[in-house]
Amino acid sequence: MPLYFLHVFNRTGWSRDDEGQDLPDLAAARGAAVDGIRSILSDEVVHGAIDFEGRVDIVDEAGNLLESVSFADAVELRREGESE
């Protein structure tokens, strides 16, 4: 299985993933990135402020950037009166 590294960038700085994760494909790596972003955002909600400026970069074992997932892409924002 390929090894993917999920590096987090946000206003608090940069968190490099030095261990990586064995995942079946890029889609699974993107899912792991989205899960991680949602965890970060849920912690931010508890503290009363959400910052959508961050991103997670998905990198392969050779150091190639495969995809960047923005914090804003990990959630759907709805307002009163908007339908799903």
Asked if residues 51 and 12 have their Cβ atoms less than 8 Å apart, the reply is no
Is residue 68 classed as helix, strand or coil in its secondary structure? strand
Residue range 22-64, pLDDT digits in tens: 999 999 999 999 999 999 999 999 989 888 999 999 999 999 9
Local structure of residue 72 (DSSP, 8 states): G
Q: What is the CB neighbour count within 10 angstroms for residue 43?
A: 10
Residue in 60, 49, 56 with CA at minimum distance from that of residue 73: 56
Locate the domains of the chain by residue range: 3-74
Task: Kindly report whether the global pTM for this prediction surpasses the value 0.85.
Answer: yes
Number of CB atoms found within 10 A of residue 11's CB: 7
